[in-house]
Amino acid sequence: MAKILAITNQKGGVGKTTTGVNLAASLATAHQRVLLVDLDPQGNATMGSGVDKRNLAATIYQVLLGVRAITEVRARSANGDYDLIPANRELAGAEVEMVEMERREARLREALAQVEGAYEFILIDCPPALNLLTVNALAAAQAVMIPMQCEYYALEGLSDLVATIRKVRQHLNPELQIEGLLRTMYDARNTLAQQVSAQLIEHFGDRVYRTVIPRNVRLAEAPSFGVPGLKFDKNSKGAQAYLALAGEILNRRAQTA
C-alpha cells in the first residue's frame, strides 16, 4: 500500500514544489515506485518534471470533475523516473465547479484509490492556500509534510495550518498525521534561522526532519531545464540534501512497518 504524503504550506515560496519534484526523484533513485500529483494550478511541478503543461489534453482537473480516470491522465517524468499526474491553469476553475458536487472533499482520495496499489509513495504538491484543493489533498493523504523557511512569519502560518489539519482529522480523515516539518532554504549563518529552527525542534521534537535543505543555486536553476536537481547536478548540496531526506523517510517507514 502506498504512503500518501501531502506536501503543503499555505505560504508560497517555501519550497513545496522543489520538495515534491526532488523528493520524488530521490525516492525513485532508491528504487521506489513513485507518483507525484501536481495539485497546483501553476503547474510548476509538471514543468519541473519535464512535462509541458501547455500541451496537455487532460490533467488532474478532469479527474477531479469525474470526466477522466486518473490512469488516463498519468504521464511519465523521463527525467525523474517517476509517474506524474499533471496540472495547468485549468485547475483554477475546479474549486468553483466542485462546490456543488457530492463528496467534493473526497474527489482526489477516490481517484487515487484506483492506482495506489501500484506505488510505494504518492506525493501531492499542494497549492499555496488552504482551499478546497488542499482539503482534497489532506483528505486523501495519510500524512503531511510541511516545508518551511526558518523565519518569523513562517511560525504564524504554521499555527493556521496545524488548525486546518486538526479540523480535517476531525471531520474527513481521522488517520491524518503530521509526518514532519522540513526546514528549507536554510542558511546556518542566519541567527534568526537558528532561533526558529530551535523553536521548531522544541515544539515538534522528532517530527522535525533531521535533514535540512540549504539555499542552493543549482536547485533553483534545475526547473528551467525541466529536470529535478538530482539530474541537473547530483553533486550539488541541494540534490544531496534531498537524497538524504529520502533516506530518512525510508528509514522512518521501515521502523514503523
Tell me the per-residue pLDDT of 30-61, one tens digit each, with 9 for 90 and over.
999 999 999 999 999 999 999 999 989 899 99
Q: How confident is the model over 189-230, as pLDDT tens digits? A: 888 888 888 988 988 899 999 999 999 889 889 998 999 998
Predicted confidence at residue 158, as pLDDT, reads 85
* Domain 3-256 -> CATH class: alpha beta
The answer to whether 192 touches 151, Cβ cutoff 8 Å, is: yes
What average pLDDT score do residues 152-168 get?
85
pLDDT band for position 88 (50/70/90)?
Answer: very high
pLDDT over 90 percentage in the chain: 69
The answer to whether 90 touches 49, Cβ cutoff 8 Å, is: no
| C-alpha radius of gyration, the chain, whole number | 17
Predicted confidence at residue 93, as pLDDT, reads 87
Predicted confidence at residue 156, as pLDDT, reads 76
Predicted confidence at residue 70, as pLDDT, reads 97
Residue 237 confidence (pLDDT) above 90: yes
Residue 257 confidence (pLDDT) above 80: no
180 forms beta bridges with 145
What average pLDDT score do residues 65-85 get?
95
SS3 158: helix
* Residue spans per domain, the chain: 3-256
Mean of per-residue pLDDT scores for the chain:
92
Return the C-alpha cell found at 68: 477522466
Cα–Cα distance measured from residue 6 to residue 141, given in angstroms and rounded to the nearest whole number: 6
SS3 49: coil
pLDDT band for position 166 (50/70/90)?
Answer: very high
Q: How confident is the model over 116-155, as pLDDT tens digits? A: 999 999 999 999 988 999 999 999 999 999 999 888 777 7
Predicted confidence at residue 114, as pLDDT, reads 96
Which has more confidence, 107 or 256?
A: 107
Overall size of the chain counted in residues: 257
